[in-house]
Amino acid sequence: MSSTRESLTENSYKLNLDTKWLGQKVEHYPLLDSTQTLAMKRVETLSDQGLVIIADQQIAGRGSHLRSWYSDNNQGVWLSFILRPDLTLLQAPQLTLLTAVVLRDVITRITNSKPTIKWPNDLLIGDKKVAGILTEAKSTYKKIDHAVIGIGLNVNQTKDQLNDQIKQTATSLKIETNRSYSKKLIIQKLLNQFETDYEHYMTDGFNQIKERWLQSAFRLNSRIVYSVNGQTKEGIFIDIDDDAQLIVKDERNKIDKLASAEIEWF
């Protein structure tokens, strides 16, 4: 079913939603500057977690590193939700990897495609970006007070609906499978899956998420070129650690752990 014909209302998202807390409160907007920006404002006045903010279109969508996320159309899933995890600030990057694993699994179940996860926050089909994740967390005394997870997923865009600046590097589920999808169904499955996996993660820790993430890691065991503090290096991407840092081994078997870096993936 084409997303443009769906009845997208706050109450409609709760139908077939099996969560206890995630998505039991929903704000839905036909047009918004950024779901992430609004969620960061909402969290200041809320004591609980689980609020989901959804927009049909964003005019100032945000990605990581202050990049824009092109979401000025109603053919994608653009949403953010609020968490209050009992984690340290150093563990916040784990939430991005958890979200990537959930999103990968949902896309695979719905479309039968097999996305890969490009560290730390992108999902690719082939070598083109289909989704991005933005995690923003605030802490008190090194403990996370709240985290907001933002997700952008290209769903029903055709090639001519992709912004000129991303047309060569981005794709959508429709482009890859020649089918349209229900955005509401995707969101419901995403929230159901996330709550389940998040609760397991909070109980059992990061190891299982790490193993699942590595199963689809883009260019795992391949050579990459990367820059840290202006210095260019290269090595084999061999693993991630428990702080969600990328582990690279150079030709002398020296190990680099990257919390952030400019990486030439292609």
Q: 89-131: per-residue pLDDT in tens?
A: 999 999 999 999 999 999 999 999 999 999 999 999 999 999 9
Q: Find out whether 190 and 106 touch, Cβ atoms under 8 Å.
A: yes
Q: Is the domain of 145 the same as that of 113? A: yes
Q: Is the domain of 38 the same as that of 165? A: yes
Q: Is the domain of 156 the same as that of 232? A: no
At 32 the pLDDT is 92
Q: Is the domain of 163 the same as that of 227? A: no
At 68 the pLDDT is 56
Q: Which residues contact 230 (CB under 8 A, 6 or more apart)?
A: none
Location of structure tokens 């996305």: 115
Q: Is the domain of 166 the same as that of 231? A: no
Q: Which residues contact 252 (CB under 8 A, 6 or more apart)?
A: none
At 158 the pLDDT is 92
- Indicate the SS3 state at residue 135: strand
Domain boundary among 215, 231, 256: 215
Domain at 230, CATH number: 2.30.30.100
Q: Is the domain of 108 the same as that of 156? A: yes
- pTM beyond 0.75, yes or no: yes
Q: Is the domain of 238 the same as that of 174? A: no
Give how many domains the chain has, as a whole number: 2
Q: Is the domain of 231 the same as that of 200? A: no
Domain boundary among 175, 197, 215: 215
Q: Is the domain of 144 the same as that of 36? A: yes
Q: Tens of pLDDT along the chain (266 residues)?
A: 334 455 566 666 766 799 999 999 999 999 998 999 999 999 989 889 999 999 998 886 665 544 555 666 789 999 999 999 999 999 999 999 999 999 999 999 999 999 999 999 999 999 999 999 999 999 888 899 999 999 999 999 999 888 777 788 999 999 999 999 999 999 999 999 999 999 999 999 999 999 999 999 999 999 999 998 888 999 999 999 999 999 999 988 999 999 888 899 98
At 61 the pLDDT is 60
Helical H segments across the chain, by residue range: 35-42, 92-111, 173-177, 183-204, 207-215
Domain at 209, CATH number: 3.30.930.10
At 62 the pLDDT is 60
Q: Is the domain of 20 the same as that of 49? A: yes
Determine the structural domain holding residue 230 and report its residue range.
223-264
Q: Is the domain of 149 the same as that of 253? A: no
What is the distance between the alpha carbons of residues 29 and 13, in angstroms, rounded to a whole number?
13
Q: Is the domain of 20 the same as that of 110? A: yes
What is the distance between the alpha carbons of residues 203 and 191, in angstroms, rounded to a whole number?
18
Location of structure tokens 């795992």: 220
Sheet of 116-118: strands edge to edge? 26-32, 52-58, 76-83, 143-154, 128-140, 122-125, 116-118
Domain boundary among 179, 198, 215: 215
